[in-house]
């Protein structure tokens, strides 16, 4: 351990190049090697700061194999800075396997704090910041995305997601469907860049407003959703309750509960009880 090098985890800007720290620049100047996701992209970034260093490519597809090689280099005394394309490495970016292996091997890991889109967006959202959960990217497919949101239906902490231009409207449609049209959300777009926009409204209204002009969904974005602030009766998705109500007007409640349970994956007895408590 004593002769081994150090792995520095270094955050880089998420848009505004002035958001680099002095300590990050000092570490870049000191290290032997910079491990980066996209070496061309990071080469341009570092040349902006006048830094020229050997790079090592470490991305999602090769991290598991290459991490061993980097640990070996560290054990031989090489000092390495790990960066990602933007923001904090490991946060929806590579680095976790490398850090874990370093710690298992007794190699010192030193984190350098800096930009992170999730935290930066949260700070400007006006949504509760005392308790939150970061969920990274939602699944791309509707069914999986809705299932994920269903699991978060009762979550009372603020929810933070990364999202992309081409999926944001579909995602908001699913949020509306599963969490209800009234749930308050904030979309923080192009943070620290020229077209930075931070917009908050009920998910129903925000989705409509975004759909009116595709400039409103361009660029990089963080979606922040207010936690569930209502009590136990919000246990079921609003559309499941609606379905239960409609079907129970045509069929016995027991039958309606069984159908809705099948459709939405809830327990039929719980739905039946809900119907008894609320519909009569
Ligand atoms: N490690 C990064 C961090 O610390 O924020 C995140 C990497 S993740 C691969 C990239 C996602 O972060 C983007 O798709 C977007 O959701 C979000 N993001 C990155 N930069 C952003 C910015 N300037 N404004 C809004 N969201 C941003």
Q: For ligand 1, is residue 147 a contact (CB within 6 Å)?
A: no
Query: Which of 18, 42, 86 for mutating ligand 1's site (highest number of atoms within 8 Å of CB)?
Result: 86
Q: CA 91, 93, 95: angle at the middle one, nearest 5?
A: 90
The phi and psi torsions of 7 (rounded to 5 degrees) equal: -100, 115
Using CB atoms within 10 A of its CB, is residue 53 exposed (0-12), middle (13-18) or buried (19+)? middle
Residues forming a β-bridge with 173:
none
Yes or no: say if 49 and 25 are a contact pair by the CB < 8 Å rule: yes
- Please list, in sequence order, all residues whose beta carbon lies within 8 angstroms of the beta carbon of residue 209, skipping any fewer than 6 positions away: 199, 201, 216
Q: What pTM does this model have? A: 0.84
SS3 107: coil
Q: For ligand 1, is residue 222 a contact (CB within 6 Å)?
A: yes
Write the residue with the smallest CA distance to atom 11 of ligand 1: 162
pLDDT, averaged per 10 consecutive residues of the chain (280 residues), comes to: 87 98 98 97 95 95 94 98 98 98 98 98 98 98 96 94 98 95 96 98 98 96 91 72 95 95 89 83
pLDDT of residue 261: 93
pLDDT of residue 1: 52
Q: For ligand 1, is residue 91 a contact (CB within 6 Å)?
A: yes
Q: How far away, in angstroms, is 4 Cα from ligand 1 center?
A: 32
pLDDT of residue 235: 72
pLDDT of residue 233: 52
Q: For ligand 1, is residue 239 a contact (CB within 6 Å)?
A: no
Yes or no: say if 164 and 221 are a contact pair by the CB < 8 Å rule: yes
pLDDT of residue 270: 84
């Amino acid at each position: 351990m004593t002769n081994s090098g150090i792995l520095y985890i270094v955050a880089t800007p998420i848009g505004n190049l002035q958001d680099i720290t002095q300590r990050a620049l000092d570490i870049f100047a000191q290290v032997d090697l910079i491990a980066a996701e996209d070496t061309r992209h990071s080469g341009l970034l570092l040349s902006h700061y006048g830094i020229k260093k050997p790079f090592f490519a470490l991305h999602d597809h090769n991290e598991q194999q290459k991490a061993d090689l980097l640990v070996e280099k560290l054990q031989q005394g090489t000092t390495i800075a790990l960066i990602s394309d933007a923001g904090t490495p490991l946060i929806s970016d590579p680095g976790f396997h490398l850090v874990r292996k370093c710690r298992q091997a007794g190699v010192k890991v030193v984190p350098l704090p800096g930009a992170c889109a999730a935290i930066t967006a949260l700070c400007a959202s006006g949504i509760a910041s005392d308790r939150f959960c970061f969920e990274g990217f939602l699944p791309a497919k509707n069914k999986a995305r809705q299932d994920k949101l269903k699991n978060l239906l009762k979550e009372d902490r603020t929810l933070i997601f990364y999202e992309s231009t081409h999926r944001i409207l579909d995602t908001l449609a699913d949020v509306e469907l599963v969490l209800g049209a009234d749930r308050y959300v904030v979309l923080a777009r192009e943070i620290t860049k020229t077209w930075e926009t931070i917009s908050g409204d009920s998910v129903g209204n925000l989705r409509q407003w975004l759909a009116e002009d595709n400039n409103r969904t361009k660029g990089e974005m963080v979606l922040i959703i207010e936690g569930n602030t209502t009590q136990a009766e919000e246990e079921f998705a609003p559309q499941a309750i609606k379905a239960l109500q409609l079907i129970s007007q045509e069929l016995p409640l027991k039958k309606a509960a069984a159908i809705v349970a099948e459709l939405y994956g809830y327990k039929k007895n719980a739905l039946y009880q809900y119907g008894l408590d609320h519909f009569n």
